[in-house]
């Protein structure tokens, strides 16, 4: 449940905050979200990764379809990727990695500052 909540909130954060802020602001936001929701480490990585990756792919496809610009195809050819859709896929992979590692950083930061009980009988 926390994984799904983190994924949905990450997508919303990317879609609404992404056009007005830089990518690193969105990464800090995903890290804070994951620290507040506090899923396990794998769930945090996958939730943040899917959220940011799907958000970036969705936004780039939406912008490409609504503007009907030849710029994605030209940039894909310029970068040696072939087509604009390959460039969209590369954008999705980059967003997947950035979102995943920012969410994982948020969870690990919360684990780091959480107090650990001392001298507790663990038998």
Calculate the CA 114 to chain-centre distance.
24
Answer yes or no: are the C-beta atoms of 30 and 106 closer than 8 Å. Answer: yes
Mention every residue, 6+ apart, whose C-beta is less than 8 A from residue 49. 96, 97, 99, 100, 103
For residue 21, give the DSSP letter.
Answer: S
Whether the predicted pLDDT of 116 surpasses 80: no
- pLDDT band with cut points at 50, 70 and 90 for residue 51: very high
pLDDT at position 84 is: 84
pLDDT tens for residues 58-107?
Answer: 998 998 889 888 888 888 888 888 888 888 899 999 999 999 999 999 99
Mention every residue, 6+ apart, whose C-beta is less than 8 A from residue 22. none
pTM of the predicted model as reported, rounded to 2 decimal places: 0.86
Question: How far is 5 from 94, CA to CA, in rounded Å?
Answer: 22
- pLDDT band with cut points at 50, 70 and 90 for residue 54: very high
Task: Estimate the crossing angle of helix 84-113 against helix 71-78, to 10 degrees.
Answer: 80
Based on its alpha-carbon atoms, the radius of gyration of the chain, rounded to whole angstroms, reads 18
Q: What are 114's two structure tokens?
A: 């959480």
pLDDT at position 72 is: 83
pLDDT at position 85 is: 87
Answer yes or no: are the C-beta atoms of 42 and 88 closer than 8 Å. Answer: no
pLDDT at position 122 is: 67
pLDDT at position 123 is: 57
């Amino acid at each position: 449940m926390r994984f799904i909540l983190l994924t949905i909130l990450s997508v919303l954060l990317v879609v609404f905050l992404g056009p007005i802020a830089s990518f690193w602001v969105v990464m800090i936001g995903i890290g804070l979200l994951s620290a507040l929701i506090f899923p396990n480490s794998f769930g945090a990585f996958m939730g943040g990764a899917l959220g940011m990756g799907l958000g970036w792919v969705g936004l780039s496809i939406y912008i490409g379809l609504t503007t009907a610009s030849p710029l994605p195809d030209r940039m894909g050819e310029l970068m040696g990727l072939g087509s604009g859709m390959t460039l969209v896929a590369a954008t999705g992979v980059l967003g997947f990695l950035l979102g995943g590692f920012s969410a994982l950083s948020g969870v690990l930061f919360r684990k780091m500052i959480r107090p650990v009980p001392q001298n507790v009988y663990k038998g």
